[in-house]
Structure 1
Amino acid sequence: MTETNWAGNLTYAASALRTPRTVDELAAIVAAEPHVRGLGSRHSFNRIADTTGVQVSVAGLPALVEVDDSAREVTVSAGLRYGELVEELDRAGWALHNLASLPHISVAGAIATGTHGSGDHNGSLASSVAGLELVTADGSLLTVRRGDPDFDGMVVSLGCLGIVTKVTLDIVPTFDVRQDVYEGVSWESIADHLDAITSSAYSVSMFTDWGDAGAGQAWLKSRADVTPPATFFGATPASRELHPLPDESAEFTTSQLGAPGVWWDRLPHFRLGFTPSNGQELQSEYLVPRFDAAAAIDAVRSLAPVIRPHLFVSELRTIAADSLWLSPSHGVDCLAIHFTWRMHVPEVTALLPALDDALAPFAARPHWGKVFQSDRERLGAAYPRIDEFRSLADRLDPTGTFANEQTSEWLGR
């Protein structure tokens, strides 16, 4: 059966999709096949999960959620989706520090691509990884922990080092969150007060279509015991629940208007019970250093005439620095500039080089799971430890079992 990604913009070239039920079965597949790629929840918009060989899904491995209260860690099966983890974790009195916009993505896939939530002091989802178990190219099982040699190179791995079977994550005590939305943040306010805007809540997202009005909405996710501001840098509190797209129903967005709720039902933008429909969108995202945020926003605004006809909405949010080699927030606090495109594949593909050119002066780092067009030289400048990662991949996977056309284009292996 021909498989596609979630968006439907790609048909995979894999010869087969295997769903092993045990780690031993997975190891046998990896050892026997010349080319293997892991396939998560299919939310990547490029060919990072593709192969001319065999795709494997670890969603069929035994489900695991094992909390270690004393270590403040949880070990989970890699194929678990965040939405399958969060309620069980909360019942045990614990939480994750951050979640992405959708809770429907797999743990291993999100980590491997550097997927993130938001917040000035919140690192990406990968930054909470304390340990990994993976099947390497010869079928052997490798376990690594934070602090081990090369660990920082093994977390955001692009699927190039092996098939991850278990992940150990840092956890924090459970907490409640309120969400307040404000309408109408001007570009002038963003330029003059960006740091104050993004530090005004646990997590802040601004949504824009790059028109002259600025950000039509700002979503503030705050600890439930924090009182939000009455006004917000010239914006006014929303009087009704909103969707990031002004004309869409807010039926499936997480509750707003200050109603407190558990962390996993407020940190994402969309409800756990909401099943996203397949596709009809593309996504791109670049992370730029915070000190270049204003200039990067101006650079994108200069492209507004070519961006807007193909755009649903853009999101601006911040992510804290981490130490992971291929993380888009490696070594520097970042502003993420996200684009949710209409399914205008030829037109979006044609404008991506101009977007990459506009953000190149800021050593912008593309999200590995989204659509972008860059070259190896720019990626090397943006990710200063990419050569070390390439050497690590050569050592763990000398025959290129886990390489594919996409990762070879990016890494040169």
Structure 2
Amino acid sequence: MSSTNVQAKLRAPAPWLVVLAAAGQAWLLWPLFTPDMTAYLIPWLETIRARGVLDAFAQPFSNYMPSYLYLLAVFSPLAAWLDPMSVIKLLSVAGTAALALAMHRLLGALQVSERARWAALVVALPSVAFNALLMGQCDAIYVAACLMAVAMAIERRHFAMFLWCGVAVAFKAQAVLVAPFFLAVAIQRRVSPAQWLAAPAALLALMLPALLAGWPPADLATIYFRQAETFSNDIARNAPNIWSLAGMVAPDFAPRLFGLALAAALGAAAWFVAKMQIVRFGHAGLVGMAALAALLSAGLLPRMHERYFMLADLLILAFAIARGTRSAFALAALVQLGSFAAIVGYLGLGAPMVAVGASCMIAATWLAARPLANPNANDNPPAGRTPRPTLLRRVVPYDIDGRLRFRGNGE
């Protein structure tokens, strides 16, 4: 069956079904909360209310970057009518709406039909819903910025690409999980170093209000380093990756593998960047490679948490929507299952669910990496197509699911 015929049968879910699923999750999760809410998020909101918006930023009161705290300050007046937990979750819901808009923009760059209905599906994804409606986290915001950066990469708007990268890092350090993709694209396309400066410029611009209010520069510069030391005794924190499995098998020895884990992640990133220089992908394949970068990074870096695969969840979904094949959607479902299983494990079902999630993620990463690991494995063109010669070039145009794509230079 051709890809076109398959895509015709895989249509976006009906809007009423998405609304029903989202409403059901909201009804179930809104009254609940996690320890992070009472230990961190609510005290930060109360600090802003007690000190006032301007005075609150005169000194550090959070281990998050100020970007998120600005938004929390904007929502803080709602605490006069709502309980603090609801205010924080409303901000997270607003972040989810931004994520859906970013998905719509990315699907537009991929020229996907019915992209509004596909983008709406984002709000009903279990990993997204649990992140906002239960945990009250802001991961949707940095993921939205990363999706915008990938859209800019597809459209070859490299200055905007790096600008969105800087915005993403300003909200969460986890944005660097997809950094190998942007590095590979920038090197491959010989992007001017001057355009790379857009990322630190955006980061600095978002730090500037806090700096002007009096927040010490040294504290801002070290926030992410201090975050990394928060759980220094763990090799992984319910993350669906190989290190969680190692922690289950040898809990006392696993933390000693920190150096090995870091070396493995850096080595995989170097391999990814190098292979991206000789293998070209179409637009859908590029999004698949961005998802692979996030899967490799979160899968191999130490001290990852259960929600750190959310970026891969959304990128692989965008790839599946763009490709429209059953195999692509199966891959997206595998990633979503892995992410959700780890979250459920964190919420109380424990190590067995995390192990299930890790198994799913490892399998999905292996499947996604095949076009880079062995690009010549499938040298048969699709039926009815004749490959064009690649004169004096070491370029193999593939899509992530192994199908050859002959599109000139692969862009």
Measured against the shorter chain, the TM-score band is under 0.3
Q: Using structure 1 for the length normalisation, give the TM-score.
A: 0.28
Structure number having the greater helix percentage: 2
Higher Cα radius of gyration: 2
More strand by share: 1
TM-score scaled by length of structure 2: 0.28
